[in-house]
Amino acid sequence: MTTLIPMLLLSLICIQFGLSLQACQECACCSNGQHFCDSRKICIDGCQAGYYGAKCTEQCLENCESCVDGYECTECRPGYYTNKCNLPCGKGCLNSTCSKLSGECTCKSADFVKGKCDFCLGHKYGNECEKTCPSNCGSCISDTHCVWCVDTAYYGSYCQYRCSVGCVDKICNKGTGHCTKRCKHGFVGDKCDICSFGLYGPNCDLNCTENCIECFSATNCTKCKSGFYGDTCANACPAGCDKTCSFSTGQHCNWTEQYRVCERDTGSCLHGCNLVTKYGDFCEKQCSNTCYNQSCDLETGQCLEGCEMDFYGLFCNNSCSTSCISQTGKLICDGMKGHCLFGCKDGFHGKRCDNICSRL
């Protein structure tokens, strides 16, 4: 009796905590204890849970309640199933008990999928399927991680964004929002959320005004065709704005030809004037006809190449003194300050020869 009690306790501890002995000594793992074996050391009433053999010395597969050999279980411990008892019952199985062959069981609540009770119903998650997924989730593993989105019409980690109305069938990739099929007519971009040039509106089916390339509405253009400006691109740029081809290379038009050659809101010329004889914000002013070649700075109107004969100053609007000595075909005074270049006529002196000599 003194030997039986320790062996029974050891066997109970092994069963309770899922432990097992590699093998039992003869009669030690007999059902009801070692005294229930005959003179040949064969157990009379069979083996304790987890052991098999005539002498109950061999261990069953892990999680077996009973077996006839080391390859297949006849009964599983609670919480496992299959003929080898190697798969756990579903987390939703009542009392962690399920059919040994199929794994089916009675679910502990209506929030589990019937059958093996190993998954939560569509909008539930958590160990007990007691939590509700975000509203646009088809199923989820947490409140910030949806497995898939309802009708594939949403995207984002928890389906927080709606697919663009520009996506065909309004379906898109859950991770990126890119349209799964293609864009509807009038939409462009990976997410089909941008209107094509010349269109606007929530469905990109409204036309911008005639000379408008991009707009938010019929009265708010953001980009005009070349040569037009204004909120509706209805105003023509000033005639002097440069929009001609570059004849110096004989190849391509100036880049201003491709883009409004005037400022959208005011109509001021963006890239200069098409004639060197014009200047001002709107190329509306005429360079002085006393500028050499009549060319001047497009902003200030100052002469760029100096002055015509017998004129001086930034705008060439001052005449050289008539008292300067002249030489055929040559300037008679300095173009900037009007100083006489070849001296003064008799009776005059000074840098500009504008002083009369004394008669004393």
Are the CB atoms for 296 and 278 separated by under 8 Å?
no
Residue 329 pLDDT level (bands cut at 50, 70, 90): confident
Q: How high is the pLDDT of residue 11?
A: 47
pTM of the full structure: 0.47
Q: How high is the pLDDT of residue 204?
A: 92
Interval 44-89: pLDDT, tens: 888 888 899 888 889 999 999 999 898 999 999 999 999 999 999 9
The domain segmentation of the chain, as residue ranges, is: 208-286
Interval 4-18: pLDDT, tens: 444 444 444 444 433
Interval 95-151: pLDDT, tens: 999 999 999 999 999 999 999 999 998 789 998 999 999 989 988 999 999 999 988
Q: CA 116 to CA 101: how far, in whole Å?
A: 11
Interval 180-217: pLDDT, tens: 989 999 999 989 999 988 899 999 999 999 888 889 89
Contacts 24+ apart (CB under 8 A), 273-282: 273/240, 273/241, 273/242, 273/298, 274/240, 274/241, 274/242, 274/243, 274/244, 275/240, 276/304, 278/240, 282/238, 282/240, 282/241
Residue 271 pLDDT level (bands cut at 50, 70, 90): confident
Q: Is 302 or 45 the better-scoring residue by pLDDT?
A: 302
Are the CB atoms for 267 and 229 separated by under 8 Å?
yes
Q: How high is the pLDDT of residue 27?
A: 80
